[in-house]
Amino acid sequence: MSLSKTTCAALMTRLGKVLSKHALLHDEEALRPYECDGLSAYRQLPAVVCLPETVEQVQAVLRICDELQVPVVPRGAGTGLSGGALPDHAGVLLVLTKLNRILEIDAPNFCARVEPGVRNLALSEATRPLGLYYAPDPSSQIACSIGGNVAENSGGVHCLKYGLTVHNVLGLKMLTIEGELLDIGGKTLDAPGYDVLALLCGSEGLLGVIVEITVRLLPCPECAQVMVAAFDDVAKAGAAVGNVIAAGIIPAGLEMMDKLAIRAAEDFVHVGYPKHAAAILLCEVDGARVEVPEELQRVRQIMLESGAFEVRIATDEAERALFWKSRKATFPAVGRLSPDYYCMDGTIPRHRLAEVLTRIEALSEQFGLPVANVFHAGDGNLHPLILYDANREGDLTKAEALGACILRLCVAVGGTITGEHGVGIEKLDGMCMQFKSSELSQFLRVKAAFDPQGLLNPGKAVPTLHRCAELGAMHVHRGQVPFPELERF
Amino acid sequence: MNHDLSLSLQDQVKEAIAKKHTLAIVGGGSKSFLQSAKADAELNLSGHRGVLNYEPGELFISARAGTPLAEIETLLADHRQMLASEPQHFSQGENLATLGGAVACGFSGSRRPFAGSLRDHVLGVNMLNGKGERLQFGGQVMKNVAGFDVSRLMVGARGTLGALLEISVKVMPKPELEQTLLFECPSVHAVKRMSGFVHRSLPLSALAWLEGYLLVRLEGTETAVSAASAQIGGDVAEQSANFWLSLREQTHPFFRRHQPLWRLSVPPAADLPIPENEVFIDWQGGLRWWQTDRSAEYIQTMASKAGGYAYLFRDAGPVIGDSPPTGLLTLHRSLKQSFDPDGLFNPGLMGGQF
Search chain B and give the residue with CA nearest A452.
B334
Query: A379 vs B332: CB contact, 8 Å cut-off?
Result: no
Asked if A487 is an interface residue toward chain B (Cβ–Cβ < 8 A), one would say no
**In chain A, what residues touch B328 (CB-CB under 8 Å)?**
182-184, 193, 196
Instruction: Measure A131 CA to nearest chain B CA, in Å.
Output: 7
Torsional class of B321: left (φ above 0), alpha (ψ -120 to 50), beta (otherwise) = left
**Judging by DSSP bridges, how do beta strands A102-106 and A92-95 pair with one another?**
unpaired
Asked if B265 is an interface residue toward chain A (Cβ–Cβ < 8 A), one would say yes
Helix (H) or strand (E) holding B72: helix B69-78
**In chain A, what residues touch B52 (CB-CB under 8 Å)?**
none
Query: B141 vs A348: CB contact, 8 Å cut-off?
Result: yes
Instruction: Measure A393 CA to nearest chain B CA, in Å.
Output: 31
Residues in chain B: 354
**In chain A, what residues touch B311 (CB-CB under 8 Å)?**
192
Query: B161 vs A349: CB contact, 8 Å cut-off?
Result: no
Q: Rounded to an integer, what distance in angstroms lies between the CA atom of residue A184 and that of residue A170?
A: 9
**CATH number, span A5-95:** 3.30.43.10
Search chain B and give the residue with CA nearest A131.
B199
Search chain A and give the residue with CA nearest B268.
A109
Identify the bridge partners of residue A73 per DSSP, sorted by sequence position.
A93
**Judging by DSSP bridges, how do beta strands A253-258 and A223-231 pair with one another?**
unpaired
Q: Rounded to an integer, what distance in angstroms lies between the CA atom of residue B133 and that of residue B118?
A: 25
- pLDDT, tens digit (0-9, with 9 covering 90-100), for B253-287: 999 888 999 999 999 999 999 999 999 999 999 99
Query: A419 vs B331: CB contact, 8 Å cut-off?
Result: no
Q: Rounded to an integer, what distance in angstroms lies between the CA atom of residue B97 and that of residue B30?
A: 5
**In chain B, what residues touch A351 (CB-CB under 8 Å)?**
55, 57-58
B335 closest CB neighbour out of A109, A183, A194: A194
* Beta strand residue intervals within A29-134, DSSP E: 48-50, 72-75, 92-95, 102-106, 111-114, 132-133
Q: Is B330 helix (H, G, I), strand (E, B) or coil?
A: helix
Q: Rounded to an integer, what distance in angstroms lies between the CA atom of residue A89 and that of residue A235?
A: 46
Cβ atoms < 10 Å from Cβ of B230: 9
**In chain B, what residues touch A108 (CB-CB under 8 Å)?**
192, 195, 268-269
Q: Rounded to an integer, what distance in angstroms lies between the CA atom of residue B125 and that of residue B65?
A: 9
Search chain A and give the residue with CA nearest B270.
A109
Helix (H) or strand (E) holding B304: helix B296-305
Q: Chains A, B: CB contacts under 8 A, how many?
A: 255
**CATH number, span A107-219:** 3.30.465.10
As to burial, measured by CB atoms within 10 angstroms (0-12 exposed, 13-18 middle, 19+ buried), residue B302 is: buried
A288 closest CB neighbour out of B135, B192, B228: B228
Alpha carbon separation from A376 to A280, A317, A350, B56, B172 (Å, rounded):
12, 22, 10, 19, 18
pLDDT score at A216:
98
Cα angle vertex B290, ends B288, B294, to 5°?
A: 135
Please tell me if the domain spanning A223-333 has the same topology as the one spanning A338-478. Answer: yes
**CATH number, span B6-173+331-339:** 3.30.465.10
Q: What residue ranges of chain B have pLDDT lower than 50?
A: none
Our measurement of the distance from residue A97's CA atom to the centroid of its chain's CA atoms, rounded to an integer in Å, reads 18
A164 closest CB neighbour out of B59, B143, B327: B143
Q: Quote the DSSP letter at residue A157.
A: T
Q: Rounded to an integer, what distance in angstroms lies between the CA atom of residue B112 and that of residue B109?
A: 6
Alpha carbon separation from A344 to A347, A355, A399, A422 (Å, rounded):
10, 17, 10, 10
B119 closest CB neighbour out of A106, A187, A195: A195
Q: Rounded to an integer, what distance in angstroms lies between the CA atom of residue B120 and that of residue A290?
A: 29
Helix (H) or strand (E) holding B216: strand B213-220
Instruction: Measure A66 CA to nearest chain B CA, in Å.
Output: 18
The answer for A 183-242 residues in CB contact with B (under 8 A) is: 183-184, 186-196, 198-199, 201-203, 207, 219, 221-223, 242
Query: B143 vs A155: CB contact, 8 Å cut-off?
Result: yes
Query: B332 vs A186: CB contact, 8 Å cut-off?
Result: no
pLDDT score at A480:
46
Identify the bridge partners of residue B182 per DSSP, sorted by sequence position.
B215, B235
Instruction: Measure A10 CA to nearest chain B CA, in Å.
Output: 30
Fold held by A223-333: Alpha-Beta Plaits (3.30.70)
The answer for A 279-338 residues in CB contact with B (under 8 A) is: 287-291, 294-295
**Residue B134 CB partners (closer than 8 Å, separation 6+):** A438, B6, B10, B126, B127, B128, B165
A183 closest CB neighbour out of B129, B143, B327: B327
* Beta strand residue intervals within A288-388, DSSP E: 310-313, 340-343, 371-376, 381-388
Q: Rounded to an integer, what distance in angstroms lies between the CA atom of residue A445 and that of residue A447?
A: 5
**Residue A13 CB partners (closer than 8 Å, separation 6+):** none
- The separation between the first and the last C-alpha atoms of chain B, rounded to the nearest angstrom, is 34
Instruction: Measure B47 CA to nearest chain A CA, in Å.
Output: 26
The answer for B 58-97 residues in CB contact with A (under 8 A) is: 58-59, 80
Asked whether the beta carbons of A414 and A388 are under 8 A apart, the reply is no
Q: Which amino acid is at A298?
A: R
* Residue extents of the structural domains in chain B: 6-173+331-339, 177-314
pLDDT tens by residue, chain A, 489 residues: 578 899 999 999 999 999 999 999 999 999 999 999 999 889 999 999 999 999 999 999 999 999 999 999 999 999 999 999 999 999 999 999 999 999 999 999 999 999 999 999 999 999 999 999 999 999 889 999 999 999 999 988 888 999 999 999 999 999 999 999 999 999 999 999 999 999 999 999 999 999 999 999 999 999 999 999 999 998 899 899 989 998 989 999 999 999 999 999 888 888 888 878 999 999 999 988 888 999 999 999 999 999 999 999 999 989 998 888 888 888 888 888 899 899 999 999 988 888 898 899 999 999 999 999 988 988 899 999 999 998 999 999 999 999 999 999 999 999 999 999 999 999 999 999 999 999 999 999 999 999 999 999 999 999 999 999 988 765 443 334 444 444 434
Domain A338-478 annotated CATH 3.30.70.2740: yes
- The separation between the first and the last C-alpha atoms of chain A, rounded to the nearest angstrom, is 36
pLDDT score at A1:
55
The answer for A 39-78 residues in CB contact with B (under 8 A) is: none
Mutate to test the interface with A, among B148, B282, B313 (most CBs of A within 10 A): B148
Identify the bridge partners of residue B178 per DSSP, sorted by sequence position.
B219
* Residue extents of the structural domains in chain A: 5-95, 107-219, 223-333, 338-478
Alpha carbon separation from A488 to A408, A409, B165 (Å, rounded):
8, 8, 31
Question: ipTM > 0.90?
Answer: yes
pLDDT score at A290:
87
The answer for B 197-256 residues in CB contact with A (under 8 A) is: 198-203, 220-221, 223-224, 227-228
Search chain A and give the residue with CA nearest B150.
A199
Give DSSP secondary structure letters for A10-41. Answer: HHHHHHHHHS-GGGEE-SHHHHGGGS--S-TT
The answer for A 362-421 residues in CB contact with B (under 8 A) is: 376, 379-381, 414-421
Q: Which amino acid is at A179?
A: G
Asked if B323 is an interface residue toward chain A (Cβ–Cβ < 8 A), one would say yes
